[in-house]
Structure 1
């Protein structure tokens, strides 16, 4: 290869190298700054294609999307001096690129650590002004809203980031307290269960007594109705007998005597001691029943 060809290749290589160090691209989800010999010359580069001085300027890019600062669980005390283990996280994104770069050097882990530390301090103050019930359920949403507004103002001023949301993932009692709390909860539930059982037994006795009363009333009414029916039947039977007797007294007396004979001599071993001249044998002596 001739010297001219070698020179051409070297020139092309230099041009490619210069071009690669001149043009840079910032994506839509990125934020960037331009440093010239270490000094900040462009604090907020917008997304798109840009040109910089080759070898003199250096581009630092940061993630412009919403990021999560996951804080480690911290121990806080309520206004009642009750200890809680709170696990929280914060959602944030870069808002002021210049302030963010100057405060953190563009390092996301540094921003996470500083933001988590300030969130922990804010949580400590908010929890310390509330009771256990308010922290766990009563004012939890308001606590998060107040803390988010407070941290957003502080983080914007000191770190150049916008705090979008702060949330508590979990609130636990310390291990040395959890067991006693669980025992107390179990005792409370057992007491409540005993009260329910006692109430159930009381209601069962009331229901059983009412059922016994209703049964007694039903049996009494049934016995009354049965006696009324039986009395009415006896009255009707007596009326029928009387009517039959009035129609033919002799025949009625004869039938009654036959029935008496049948009942008296029903068994083979029956023994009857009666005066032969009594009225019992009047139809055996005379067909007309005359003495």
Structure 2
């Protein structure tokens, strides 16, 4: 009796467990029965909010959709500006699902890759058209923020056909065809949605950002070569001016040195001449007071300069006046 009860209890628990499903925070759930999506009275897929829900066990399955903001990096691509100049632009997009039922139908069962393909085509065409309206200066300055804002708004609102001066027909046709398929699968009276907007796919673009703007390699190499040549030309000019100024400074310094030395030599000669004149005057005044003593002193200096060695020999006439101070006083006065 107890075993059948336990078996029944286990079966009930298994069935109850299979009947419950939880939609996590940041996600939405869509229930499929026998591979077909459960729909509401308007033939739109039923979307389950986060929380605990029931389903028919073993017959229904749950498909989860990410409700969080998602980032999509775009590969750096070449764009042409209003000036016909090429730029390599690296960008990314942040987007989220705004209408889960529409998104599920438009992407073939919530395929993120399919949604990103359509979004990337629309974004690339729109960004290319917007950049084609601006020159390089506007793109890299304050207009850059306005550029990304305009692209984001255009993705969300869509183009207005012939009234829009920046049309993206290739991407618009792809999105419009998907939007028509979604409209055929639903029968609700919904507000009109621009089939050229990302809202037609149930997607909202939250933000658009340009990470980096570069010039193509061939252009940047040419610019760097020209900048290098200009800098080298300026460097050569600066070096030439420096050499010229150095030569002027050296010439001025050499002139000042020669002028100073000449002035010093002139002052030295003047001082020496004045000293010699003063010495001669002193000697003249001193010796004029006693000429005989002056003659005696000159003779002594002559004897000192003449007899430097004991082996010196001098041959003079006995009557020579050179040795007159060596004679006796009586003889010397004769």
Q: TM-score range by the shorter chain?
A: 0.7 to 0.9
SS of the residue 1:81 aligns to: coil
TM-score by length of 1: 0.73
Runs (5+) with no aligned partner, structure 2: 32-36, 158-196
Deviation readout 1:169-226 (Å, 9 max, x if unpaired): 2413244x45544543443343233223322221221222122122223322332343
**Match of residue 117, structure 1, among 114, 121, 130:** 121
SS of the residue 1:71 aligns to: strand
Contact 1:78 1:128 in 2 (8 A): yes
Residues 286 and 68 of structure 1: is their aligned pair in 2 closer, same or farther, counting only changes over 3 Å? farther
Contact 1:152 1:164 in 2 (8 A): yes
Residues 261 and 153 of structure 1: is their aligned pair in 2 closer, same or farther, counting only changes over 3 Å? same
SS of the residue 2:45 aligns to: strand
For residues 189 and 140 of structure 1, the distance between their equivalents in structure 2, rounded to whole angstroms, comes to: 24
Structure 2 partner of 1:214: 256
Contact 1:71 1:87 in 2 (8 A): no
1:140 maps onto 2:140 in alignment: yes
Runs (5+) with no aligned partner, structure 1: none
> Equivalent residues in 2 for 1:1-291 (5 A)?
2-19=3-20, 21=21, 24-27=22-25, 30-32=26-28, 34=30, 37-38=38-39, 39-42=44-47, 45=49, 49-54=51-56, 58=62, 60-65=64-69, 67-84=70-87, 86-94=88-96, 96-98=98-100, 104=107, 106-132=110-136, 134=137, 139-157=139-157, 158-159=197-198, 160-175=203-218, 177=219, 179-242=221-284, 244-245=286-287, 248-264=290-306, 266=308, 282-284=324-326, 290=333
Deviation readout 1:5-52 (Å, 9 max, x if unpaired): 322221221111112x3xx2332xx24254661533448x3xx52435
Relative contact order, CA 8 A, sep 6+: which one is greater?
2
TM-score by length of 2: 0.65
Cα shift at 1:102: 5.9
Aligned residues: 275
Q: CA RMSD in A?
A: 3.8
For residues 5 and 292 of structure 2, the distance between their equivalents in structure 1, rounded to whole angstroms, comes to: 169
